[in-house]
Structure 1
Amino acid sequence: MRKWTMLALLAGALLLGGCWGEKEKKIEKDNERQTKGQSYTFPLTGKQTKEQFDQRAVAVVVNNHPQARPQTGLAEADVVYEVLVEGNMTRFLAIYQSEHPKEVGPVRSARDYFIDLAEGYDSLFIAHGYSPEAKERLFSGEVDQINGIQHDKTIFTRDSSRKAPHNSYVQFDKMYEEAKEKGYELNDMPDRLNFLKSSDVTEGAEQKASSVRVVYSSNPAFQVEYRYNADKKSYERFVGGEQQFDRESKRAIRAANVLIIEAGHRVTDGEGRLDIDLSSGGNAYLVQNGVVHTAEWSNVEGRILPFKDGSPMGFAKGKTWINIIPASKGLDKMVNLGNN
């Protein structure tokens, strides 16, 4: 009798085990379907993707001298700051997270305010050269960084068709290899920016803006214009009347958001280097989806962000360009809004 009881128990266990195994397989398949159907959001563009992309931001100082144009990799950047340097010229800080091009450049030397802006996104900081103040900060260990001075012609390659210092390009694959060797963390995504629903982007706008012009200099090479493309729902960038395209990909340089802010500028030495006040806040324009919002800006944990009557404003989903201009001239003198 005991033998038949044991056989019955064993048969029951096998049957239950089979049922549980089938249920376990079904759960795994359901989870797999959910994972396949799941979408993720890029933190700096608000755009969705089906692949999880836990990637740290990379900030690259990009040359904007006329001899450095057209640049490579600007079209892929999520956020781009345009900031004055000595000589009344501008330079870019391009921040990459959702897209990583093969190479970016020409890469140019760091200033301390570029380090400040990069730290707002906890970025790996890339430059070729540095001012004395920037060098001190970079070598203090304050920021994870890779510089072309130490890695010229290895991680940074030279384009023989251009003259130095307008011919240094950082190779992203080699840059990542070096970052891993240095023990830098590469999987920490930056905190997400605040993005609006499409229907909310134009709410509260003061006027339409089919174009916006930022005049950094009497030299047309530093007179920037953004023209709204309604089909693309983004602004296309022009300099000196010519549209800007990426050198390699031929992609047009576009922005869903153009944030223009006033900040205090002060010359600090005989070379004309600048100290830029990125902490006090001030007046701003936020241009998006064919309209302009009058705003204020504040520095929130290293990020330059727009506010309206003390409340944070949202960005349209897509790429963002931030133009920093001297408060001494301000929005009234340096920015022209058009509505064709």
Structure 2
Amino acid sequence: MSETDFFLYVDALKWYKQIFDRRQVSPLKGKKWLLIFTVSAAVVLSACTKERVPEKGSESPAENKPEAVEKPSYPFPLTGLLSEEKPNHRAIAVMINNHPKARPQSGLQKADVVIEALAEGGITRFLAVFQSEFPERIGPVRSARDYYIRLAKGFDGLFVFHGWSPEAKKLIESQYIDSLNGLFYDGTLFQRVAFRQAPHNSYISYKNILKGAEKAGCDLDTPPAPYRFLSGGETVEGEDVRSVAVSYSTDDFLVRYEYDPAAEKYKRYSGGAQTVDYDTGDPVLLDNVLIVEMDHAPLNDGSGRIAIDLESGGRGYLLQKGKMRKIRWENVNGRIVPYDGTEQARLVPGKTWINIVPAPMENVLSVPAQ
């Protein structure tokens, strides 16, 4: 008998006693009444108990299982890929060395966006922008140029570099952008590796970037503005093109992209070798390749440095899903953005590589790759 049934039974006995007292029933009749009441109460309580105990198998398995709660998903602003948590992390933009003696680099495969442009002497460097994921180690880190700084500002990123040109120095010292300079943290936040020689051996870990940002009082909680991305039902338009080559100068800086239909991604090659991560061997795999032409002009500073026009907009090509189409690029709040007519072109969710090439692009672009 449950606790509830017991109290019901006690209440019933009290009720019977009140009736017995009022009627002044004789002891003999009282015993008879008590017997009748006891049997009746037992039957009633038994019935109540049966009603409260469910029969075996009466409940369906679905009733016993808790309802599934659908987890919310949030798109990363630079890749469009989904996360279970709000991606409230500031972008980190790192200057990466691309000299043949600096290859293969560390961390490029985790960058959301990489921008490749000429520095001087026909050599390119990378601005690698991280927001959705971060490698353990990044490098080799190299010196800044003013146009890379302006491109990093377009992502409102924390700019990480090691050294600067005179133009870049002026921009950094004007507090144009939050930054970490390896010149001031060489051997502390930035480490020199033994397997490479200077100036191709400066590396920084993600942990040390966080330490440096905290020391400098830099905000790391504000994500960049998002790109626009294709939805699941939208298709990519353009001409079928499986390979494209960009020749910046010598064969060491001949870049080739090859589309892999099985992976639905682009593989990148530089100087004839596939671009992979030094530490893991993982290849750089891309979902969008954007090639844009810009006017380049010498600074005549005796060092071969150049100026690149990031503002005027111009022609370009966008490669997605094995297709290639003409676009125009515009500078939107410091960021290079592709346009189809008057509408911003939508990117395939995933990683993007942007090649800035001297105008006219026909001098450096080969379709298909040669």
Normalized against structure 2, the TM-score is what? 0.80
Among 124, 135, 139, the alignment partner of 1:105 is 139
CA distance in 1, matches of 2:98, 2:310: 21
Using the TM superposition, name which of 147-156 and 43-52 deviates more.
Answer: 43-52
Question: Could you say which residue in structure 2 is the equivalent of 1:334?
Answer: 364
Structure 1 stretches of at least 4 aligned residues deviating more than 6 Å after TM superposition: none
Secondary structure of residue in 2 paired with 1:174:
helix
Question: Could you say which residue in structure 2 is the equivalent of 1:280?
Answer: 312
TM-superposed deviation, 1:338: 2.1
When residues 201 and 87 of structure 1 are mapped into structure 2, their CA distance, relative to the original with a 3 A threshold, is farther
Question: Could you say which residue in structure 2 is the equivalent of 1:96?
Answer: 130
Question: Could you say which residue in structure 1 is the equivalent of 2:71?
Answer: 37
Q: Given that residues 102 and 172 in structure 1 are in contact (C-alpha distance below 8 angstroms), is that contact kept between their aligned partners in structure 2?
A: yes
Q: Given that residues 201 and 289 in structure 1 are in contact (C-alpha distance below 8 angstroms), is that contact kept between their aligned partners in structure 2?
A: no
* Runs of 5+ consecutive residues of structure 2 not aligned to the other structure: 1-65
Q: Aligned partner of 1:51: which letter?
A: E
Q: Given that residues 245 and 369 in structure 2 are in contact (C-alpha distance below 8 angstroms), is that contact kept between their aligned partners in structure 1?
A: no
* Runs of 5+ consecutive residues of structure 1 not aligned to the other structure: 1-29
Among 100, 110, 133, the alignment partner of 1:76 is 110
State how many pairs are aligned.
304
Among 256, 260, 263, the alignment partner of 1:229 is 260
Q: Deviations over 1:215-245 (max 9, x none)?
A: 111x211000000011211100011222111
CA distance in 1, matches of 2:369, 2:205: 41
Q: Aligned partner of 2:272: which letter?
A: G
When residues 339 and 56 of structure 1 are mapped into structure 2, their CA distance, relative to the original with a 3 A threshold, is same
Question: Could you say which residue in structure 2 is the equivalent of 1:9?
Answer: none
Question: Could you say which residue in structure 2 is the equivalent of 1:183?
Answer: 217
Q: Aligned partner of 1:308: which letter?
A: D
Q: Given that residues 201 and 316 in structure 1 are in contact (C-alpha distance below 8 angstroms), is that contact kept between their aligned partners in structure 2?
A: no
CA distance in 2, matches of 1:299, 1:111: 18
When residues 238 and 284 of structure 1 are mapped into structure 2, their CA distance, relative to the original with a 3 A threshold, is same
- In the TM superposition, 1:70-219 aligns within 5 A as 70-203=104-237, 205=238, 207-217=239-249, 219=250
TM-superposed deviation, 1:198: 4.6
Q: Given that residues 267 and 274 in structure 1 are in contact (C-alpha distance below 8 angstroms), is that contact kept between their aligned partners in structure 2?
A: yes
Q: Aligned partner of 1:312: which letter?
A: Q
Secondary structure of residue in 2 paired with 1:283:
strand
CA distance in 2, matches of 1:274, 1:266: 6
- In the TM superposition, 1:5-84 aligns within 5 A as 37-84=71-118
Secondary structure of residue in 2 paired with 1:246:
coil
When residues 189 and 172 of structure 1 are mapped into structure 2, their CA distance, relative to the original with a 3 A threshold, is same
CA distance in 1, matches of 2:80, 2:274: 26
Normalized against structure 1, the TM-score is what? 0.86
TM-superposed deviation, 1:176: 0.8
Secondary structure of residue in 1 paired with 2:211:
helix
Q: Computing the radius of gyration over CA atoms, which structure comes out larger, 1 or 2?
A: 2
CA distance in 2, matches of 1:45, 1:231: 20
Q: Given that residues 96 and 126 in structure 2 are in contact (C-alpha distance below 8 angstroms), is that contact kept between their aligned partners in structure 1?
A: yes
CA distance in 2, matches of 1:227, 1:124: 32
Calculate percent identity across the aligned residue pairs: 45
Q: Aligned partner of 2:322: which letter?
A: G
Q: Deviations over 1:66-124 (max 9, x none)?
A: 00000000000000000001111100000000011111000000000001100001000
Secondary structure of residue in 2 paired with 1:284:
strand
TM-superposed deviation, 1:201: 4.0
TM-superposed deviation, 1:189: 0.5
CA distance in 2, matches of 1:107, 1:326: 24
Q: Aligned partner of 1:106: which letter?
A: P
CA distance in 2, matches of 1:132, 1:146: 17
Q: Aligned partner of 1:336: which letter?
A: S
